[in-house]
Chain A
Amino acid sequence: MPVVSLDRDHLFGGLEKKYTQEEFEQLCFDYGVELDDVLEEDGRTVYKIDIPANRYDLLCYEGIVRALRVFLGKDPVPEYTVDNSAAGGGLQEMRVTDAVAGVRPVVVCAVLRNLSFDERSYQSFIDLQDKLHHNICRRRTLVSIGTHDLDAVKGPFVYDARAPEDIRFVPLSKENEVNARELFDNIRSNDIHLKPYLHIIENEPKYPVITDSSGTVLSLPPIINGNISRITLNTKNVFIEVTAMDQTKAHIVLNTVAIMFSQYCKNPLSVEEVKIVAADGSSSTSPVLESRECVTNLSAINKLLGLQLSLAEVQKLLMRMGLKSHGDEEKEEVVVAVPPTRSDILHPCDVIEDVAIAYGFNELPVQPPPTISLGKQNPLMQLTDKLRLESALAGFTEALSLSLCSREENFGFLNREDNNSGVTIANPKTQEFQMGRTSLYPGLLKTIGSNQKHKLPLKLFEVSDVILKDPSAEAGARNRRRLAAVYCDRVSGFEVIHGFVDRIMRVLDVLPAGTPRKDKPVYHLEPRDDPTYFKGRAANLIVAFDGKPVVVGHFGVVHPLVIKNFKLSNVCSAVELDVEYFL
């Protein structure tokens, strides 16, 4: 969840009220944001506010204050307008060549006229771009923003892609002119902030570049701007260019940056359009500020919220959420004008949520829950719980271990060959999560290892899933529910584990082979050759279902090498069997 840091007093100044922390927390709670943290920085109180991931319009001071003022009824719903009056003869132009099609095809632009920044708003402007870059822009891979002092450059502008050696400019905050290749080498060696973005473009034969009519480089998307067009506190006219791989996201990002800071223009909340001329000569303008219509049925609203609001009441509630609408009495519909700042509204259900927020979630009528029906667990869980109970009744203590482990723990430590039977993780943060376990033994033995000071004997069990590769499964892998138990003492306790196996078979209604019984499974043991166990002291547990024998599990004295690998001080016997055969 994105976090916006605001100076508390500046925030309260914008809201024209000095809240107590509790009051402000309540306001956040009601609106749907969260005061996550309060810090003291340089003698000022800073509020860190958590913003929902889909509200790009709340990612800066300007957006939050604007939205809350409307919510509190202090301001009417803002109207965003296009004002091209300062463009005089013609709009600024961005001409796109076909060279960008293969590398970073989309560009949209806007102009903010007669703006005045102060230190705070300037910093807010930078911070908003950073946040957008990090979130919706997916760390600049999908979209990136460049902002420029329009008076330092001269349109028409060109969005092209050229070989890195052919791009020469003085990068932001630097003094010397370099070509793009040299720039990248410098960044790779010296700039830890920009280095993570190089990969987006460095292997392309041509790099995207924006230049003005005299060839001055404005920016090298998505890496860095040129120094000539850098914005300062004296900048009066701002040129915003947004380049992207995705048209929809480019517009959302452009709208967010332009609209948020349009409040500082001489004609507040107005944005000047830019003409985008495509490679084939066709043209369009950006930004696109027209509101979209979203039609919501009044009875749908009332049905979902359990209310009986009139059209007028719904409209009044929506105003608090920054949504203007008109009502159609005949059709019983609310037609909402979705502003360009609300890209989160996709469907009437988004409008209904806003009605509910304005009304107050905690004011909504509560229904007793619909008729209760009989619930039950699925069969595997029922069986699992019964086995857990029986294992505990047999004197074993339940452990709950992790499903992820290292390859070493799953194979080598158990003295087993690494036969690649498990699922492997692509991006583990540590070696501990290299793969999904194919046996419950590593978890149980590690639990014993962490409890060496415990009184002996240690008797542990676990009924839990292992993950196995399975080419016939839809995802290529499946879980199997296993029951495992370990007995740890100064002596091996093989007979204890054997007794446990007999007990589990009994409670599963599986009797020893040779017992005369029709239609019921019977079991017997056979010697097992398995390097996890001491040679000659391991057995396969074989159950005959309908006369067909299945090896459902195995048990034995744990091999001394295994004991050593898990750093245990005493000896163990263990059993592991597959529960699902008994479903």
Chain B
Amino acid sequence: KPPPSRYVESSFWNFDALFQPQQHPARDAHDTFFLTQPAACRSCPEEYLERVKAVHENGGYGSIGYRYNWKRSEADKNLLRTHTTAVSSRMLEQLARDTQATGEWAPKRYFSVDRVFRNETVDKTHLAEFHQVEGLVADKNLSLGDLIGTIHMFFSRLGMKDVRFKPAYNPYTEPSMEIFAYHAGLGKWVEVGNSGVFRPEMLRPMGLPEDVNVIAWGLSLERPTMILYGIDNIRDLFGHKVDLQMIKTNPVCRLGL
């Protein structure tokens, strides 16, 4: 049962549940759209919230945690979701509850293609809203090799057969890998996505079984499209300034055909 789409989300689901610490640059008003109305969410699942608070403050599940004072008021702040991983957190928590209810584990594969919001200055390559593609696999004993293999298959379907991985940092994945593909036209390797294995500090408070790993990867929709089609202004692709003549005359997409 996929949750209904929501652009407005609480900081709890968008950040805290993902083990992204409060007082982190991304949560700043610079990068995130906070709301004046409704300013705070009405409720959060209280028991789960306590476990999230505990892992931020003191660690647990093998972690030393961030060791700072976690504030409920920060978690309650509403925002326009900054990544589709906010949806993944809800889906995984639901999966954990379902697993506990039935006592049976069934692997899951999720994907989403949806809109996210960042409070950035608008320019040729940045809008305040854009789309992200995200995939995740939750199963027992998944390895980094499974993630790499899945990514190879995914990107080769998009016409990118040659991908390489670079160590990176996300607050909620470890290991984290940036995905690079070779762009023949530009003659260089360009970043096409991000990926990783979700941290135990994120998965264990949800109640997912200990041997379950969740591998995930994501990319933005606009940037690879711009590279592929040689478009240098994002407003030519998305928003009211798009030229309808382009829409009417663009040929069929043959990617993957």
Q: Which residues of A contact B (CB under 8 A)?
A: 29-32, 34, 52-55, 135, 138, 142, 246-249, 292, 303-306, 344, 346-350, 352-353, 356-357, 361-362, 364-370, 373, 375, 378, 380, 397-404, 420, 423-430, 433, 436, 443, 446-447, 449-451, 454, 458, 460, 465, 467, 469, 471, 473-479, 481
CA gap between A32 and B169 in the complex, in Å: 9
Q: How distant is B221 from chain A, measured CB to nearest CB, in Å? A: 11
Query: Which of B29, B41, B67, B121 has the most C-beta atoms of chain A within 10 angstroms of its own C-beta?
Result: B67
- Select from chain A the residue with minimum beta-carbon distance to B39: A426
CB distance from A247 to the nearest CB of B (A): 8
A35 to chain B, nearest CB (A): 12
Known: A138-B23, A347-B62, A402-B240. A433 touches B33 (CB 8 A): yes
Once the chains bind, are B166 and A474 in contact (CB under 8 Å)? no
The contact of B68 among A248, A429, A460, by CB within 8 Å, is: A248
B42 lies within 8 A of chain A by Cβ: yes
Expressed in whole angstroms, the Cα–Cα distance for A163 and B81 within the complex equals: 43
Let me know if A346 and B64 touch, CB within 8 A.
Answer: yes
A426 to B63, CA, bound (A): 35
In the complex, are the beta carbons of B34 and A404 less than 8 A apart?
Answer: no
Query: Quick one: which of B115-173 are within 8 Å of A by CB?
Result: 115, 117, 119-122, 127-129, 137, 139, 141-146, 148-150, 152-153, 164-169, 171
What 6 A-B pairs have minimum CB-CB distances, sorted nearest first?
A: A32-B167, A476-B38, A52-B169, A446-B240, A306-B145, A477-B8
- With A346-B63, A403-B129, A423-B35 known to touch, is A458 a contact of B167 (CB < 8 Å)? no
Q: Are B129 and A364 in contact (CB under 8 A)?
A: no
- CB contacts (< 8 Å) of B174 on chain A: these are 347, 349-350, 352-353
Are A399 and B7 in touch, CB under 8 angstroms?
no
Bound CA–CA A525/B34 (angstroms): 40
Evaluate contact between A400 and B242: CB separation under 8 angstroms: yes
Q: Using A349-B175, A380-B5, A447-B244 as known contacts, say yes or no to A364 and B169 having CB atoms under 8 A apart.
A: no
Q: Which residues of A contact B122 (CB under 8 A)?
A: 429-430
Q: How far is the CA of A427 from the CA of B150 in the complex (A)?
A: 39
Contacting residues of chain B (176-233) with chain A, CB-CB under 8 angstroms? 176-177, 180, 197, 199-201, 213
Measured between beta carbons, the chain B residues less than 8 angstroms from A403 are 7, 115, 117, 129
Interface centre among A55, A306, A365, A370 (most CB of B within 10 A): A370
CB distance from B56 to the nearest CB of A (A): 11
Q: Which residues of A contact B201 (CB under 8 A)?
A: 346-347
B97 on interface, CB distance cutoff 8 Å: no
Cα A58 to Cα B7 with chains together (Å): 36
Interface pairs (14), CB distance under 8 Å: A34-B166, A246-B68, A349-B175, A361-B177, A368-B149, A404-B129, A423-B8, A424-B35, A429-B121, A450-B242, A474-B41, A477-B8, A477-B35, A479-B5
B48 touches A (CB below 8 Å): no
Closest residue of B by beta carbon distance from A353 = B175
Instruction: Find out whether the CB atom of B34 lies under 8 angstroms from the CB atom of A426.
Output: yes
Among residues of A, the one whose C-beta sits closest to the C-beta of B176 is A353
Q: Which of A375, A402, A479 contacts B129 (CB 8 A)?
A: A402
Give the residues in chain B near A348, CB-CB below 8 Å: 62
Q: Determine whether the beta carbon of B109 is less than 8 Å from that of A476.
A: no
Tell me if B43 is interfacial: C-beta within 8 Å of chain A. yes
Could you say which residues of chain A place their CB within 8 Å of the CB of B8?
423, 436, 467, 475-478
**B234-257 with Cβ < 8 A to chain A:** 238-245, 247-248
B200 near A349: Cβ-Cβ < 8 Å: yes
Nearest CB on B from A535, distance (A): 27
Q: Assuming A356-B144, A375-B109, A474-B43, is B239 touching A400 (CB within 8 A)? A: yes
Q: A306-B143, A367-B148, A367-B149 are in contact. Are A425 and B7 (CB under 8 A)?
A: no
Point out which of A53, A292, A344 has the most chain B C-beta atoms below 10 A from its C-beta: A53
Let me know if B129 and A478 touch, CB within 8 A. Answer: no
- In the assembled complex, the CB of A196 is this many whole angstroms from the nearest CB of chain B, namely 13
Knowing A248-B66, A402-B127, A479-B7, the reply to whether A370 touches B239 (Cβ < 8 A) is no
Q: How far is the CA of A422 from the CA of B164 in the complex (A)?
A: 44
Interfacial chain A residues near B66, Cβ < 8 Å: 248, 346
